[in-house]
Chain A
Amino acid sequence: MRLTDEEKAMRDGRDGPAVAKAMDLLIRYGEALGAQGLVETRNVCGTVTATTPFLRDFAYEKGGLDAVFSEFNLDSSEVVPTPRVKAFSSHLQLGFDPHHPAEMGVSDEIVQFYKRSEAAAARMGVQILNTCTPYQVGNVPTRGEHCAWMESSAVVYCNSVLGARTNTEGRESASSAMVTCRIPDWGFHRDEFRRGTLGVRLEMPVESVEDWGLFGYWMGEWVQDRVSVIEGVGPVPNLPRLKHFGAAASSSGGVEMFHLVGVTPEASTVEQAYGGNRPTDVRPYGPKERAETLARINMTGIDRKVDYVMLGCPHYTIEQIWEAACLLEGRKVHADSALWIFTPRAIKEVATRNGYTQIIEAAGAKLLTDSCSAMSRAVPPGTRVAAFDSAKQAHYLPAILGVQAWFGTTSQCIDAACTGRWSGA
C-alpha cells in the first residue's frame, strides 16, 4: 500500500504507541483488502466501551481499560495508553440500557464497570450518542464525505440516503480510524463500487413504514450485497421509512447501498444510478412478492398470545415516539404483555419534554435507550412470543433468543401490547 509521509510518521510512532498500533492495524487491513492506500476520514462511528463479563475479566487480568482498548480496539496484545481521538467519533449502541439494568438482567457490578468505560470513552473525546442511528442525533455526514462507520443499518443509510461514503467497518478498524483519521481507500469510498449493477421495478405503491420494511427484506434476500437501482418510487419516503428499508435489506441480505431513482442523491436519473453499468437483472416487486415476504418474516409466529412487543429498531425517531404515544394515550399494556420502546438518549430527552415519556409510562410501557433486545439479548422474563414493527428485529430475535416473532404495523403492535393478542397477519 502507498502511504503518505504523514501516515508513515504515524506508523513509526511520532504520535505515540497507540497511534502506531492503529496505523499498523489499518495497514494490515488495507493490504488484506487489496487497497492501494488510505483515505482521510473525520467522521467515525464505532464501539469502544466494555459491557460484558468477558471484557471485565480481561480488564482485571491484563491491565485495566487500556488493555481492553489495546486488544479489542487496536488488535494489540501490548498494552498502550488509550489516546484521545483525532476524528469526530460517535459511540454506537450497547449491550444494555445502563439506566434500566434490572429490566435487562444486568448486574450492578457490570453497570459500574460499564460506567467506568463510558467515562473513559468520553475522556477520549468519543460522543456518547449510544445509538444505531447517529444520523438522528448530531452526526449527519455531507454527501461525498468519507466516513468509517460500523452498524449495518447506519452504513446503508449513510451511503444511500446521505450520499456519504463508508464501508461496513468493525470495532478494530473504526477505533483505529478514530485515532488516525484514516481508513482503507476501498469499496464504497470509490465511485465504481457505488454504481448500481441490477434493478427493481416497483409494480405497487410502497408507502407505509411497514411497506418499506417488507420491500427491503425482499430486496435484501434477492440482491444480497449488490447495489440495486429502484425505479417506480411513488411518494417520497421519509426518514423512518428509509431507516426501516435499509435495516431490513441489510439484515436479510448484506445491502450497503441502494439507489432510489429520483430520491437518493446519486440517482437523479436511472443513467446516473447505473453509471454506465448494464443491469445484470431487473425484477418486479408487486403484491405477490409483498405477501410472500410477510409470510416469510412471520414464519415463526404460531401462538397469538403476545408476551412482549418491542418498538424502536432501528432506534425510534421523535416522530415515531409521538405516533406511539398517540396510539397509547389512555390505554394500558395488558397484564400478561409488555411494551418496550428504544430510542437515543437525546431523543428521549425531547420525548420527556413533550410529555410522551409520561404517556408511555402511564400505559405501563417503557421508553429505553442505548440498546435493543437483539443487542442485549434481553426480553421480559418468560417471553415466548414477541411482536415487532421492524423486519430486522423479527429476523434476528427468533435466531438469537428462540422466541416466536410477529411482524406488522406500529398500530398492530400497540394493539397487541394492550390486548395481549396478535390480530395482524
Chain B
Amino acid sequence: MTGDEIITIRGRKVVPGVAEGEALVTTEPISGWGGVDPRNGTVVEMRHELRGQSFAGKVLVFPGAKGSSGWSAQFHVARLMGTAPAAWLFNQMTTKVALGTVVTHAPAMTDFDIDPLTVIRTGDWVRVDADAGVVTVRRARSPCAAK
C-alpha cells in the first residue's frame, strides 16, 4: 500500500483558528437567507448542486457568497444550533462572506496560491490552519493510480 496523497495550499487568514474535517466542495456560490436551513445545516436553494446536502462540521469549499444581506444572520444561527461548517475556504471576497464567516468563529481563508476548487474534492480530509495560512488536503491514493 502507498501512503495518502498530501496537497498543501497557501492563502490568507480571514478568520483565525485551526480546524479539520471532511471537504464539501461546490463551484456554485452559496445564498444565506433563502439558501440554507440553519436548523439542519443543509443547502435548500432550488437548483443548487448541493441542495439537500449538509455542511455541518464540514470544510466548505466554495467560490463565494451571493444573495440577501441576511447571509451572516443565517450562519450565525447555524453556529448556535451546531450546524455551521468547521472551516471555510473561498475565492471571492465580499462583505457577506466576510461577516458571515466572522460570526461563525470558524477558521476561514481566501487569496490562495492554488485554487482550492481545482484540487479539493468532496470527501477529502482537510486541515485548515488559518493562523499559519496553510491548508493541508489528505486523500487516500487511488489503487489504480498507485500501480
CB distance from A157 to the nearest CB of B (A): 13
Q: Are B95 and A34 in contact (CB under 8 A)?
A: no
Query: Are B14 and A399 within 8 A (Cβ)?
Result: no
B69 near A168 with CB under 8 A, answer yes
Interface set, chain A 165-191, CB cutoff 8 A to B: 167-173, 184, 186-187
Quick check: is B101 within 8 A (CB to CB) of the other chain?
yes
Q: Mark B102-123, 1 if CB is under 8 A from A, else 0.
A: 1100001000000000000000
Whole-angstrom distance between the Cβ of B2 and the nearest chain A Cβ: 39
Please give, as numbers and ranges, the residues of chain A lying within 8 Å of B9 by CB-CB distance: none
- Note all chain B residues with C-beta closer than 8 A to A152: 67-69
Q: Contacts A33-B93, A72-B76: A173 and B99 contacting too (C-beta < 8 A)?
A: yes
**Which segment of A24-32, A198-206, A274-282 sits at the interface?**
A24-32
Scoring B66, B68, B69, B80 by chain A CB atoms within 10 A of each residue's CB, the highest score goes to B69
Q: State whether the Cβ of A88 lies closer than 8 Å to any Cβ in chain B.
A: no
| Minimum CB distance partner of A254 in chain B | B66
- A28-B15, A29-B102 are contacts. A172–B69 as well, Cβ < 8 Å? no
Are A169 and B34 in touch, CB under 8 angstroms? Answer: no
Q: Collect the chain B residues with CB atoms within 8 Å of residue A374's CB.
A: 34
Interface centre among A29, A32, A398 (most CB of B within 10 A): A32
- When distances are taken between beta carbons in the complex, the residues of chain A under 8 Å from B95 are 33, 167-170, 173, 184, 186-187
Per the bound structure, the CA–CA distance linking A25 and B98 in Å amounts to 11
CB of A307 within 8 Å of the partner chain: no
Interface of A is mostly: helix
A140 on the B face (CB < 8 A): no
The answer to whether A170 and B66 have CB atoms under 8 Å apart is no
Q: How far is the CA of A225 from the CA of B63 in the complex (A)?
A: 13
Residues in B neighbouring A399, C-beta threshold 8 A? 34, 45-46
B77 in contact (CB, < 8 A): yes
Which residues of B in the span 2-57 have a Cβ within 8 Å of any Cβ on A?
12, 14-15, 34, 45-46
**Interface residue B62 (Cβ < 8 Å from any Cβ of A):** no
Beyond A71-B80, A170-B72, A399-B34, whether A34 also contacts B103 by CB under 8 A is no
Given contacts A54-B77, A167-B95, A186-B95, contact A32 B101 (CB under 8 A): yes
Task: List the B residue with the shortest CB-CB distance to A154.
Answer: B69
Rounded to whole angstroms, the CA-CA distance of A172 and B96 in the bound complex is 11
Q: Is A32 a contact partner of B108 (Cβ separation < 8 A)?
A: yes
Closest 7 CB pairs of A and B: A170-B72, A32-B98, A150-B69, A167-B95, A170-B99, A32-B14, A33-B98
Known: A29-B98, A186-B95. 13 other contacts (CB 8 A): A33-B98, A170-B96, A170-B103, A171-B72, A172-B99, A173-B95, A184-B95, A224-B66, A225-B66, A225-B94, A398-B46, A399-B45, A399-B46
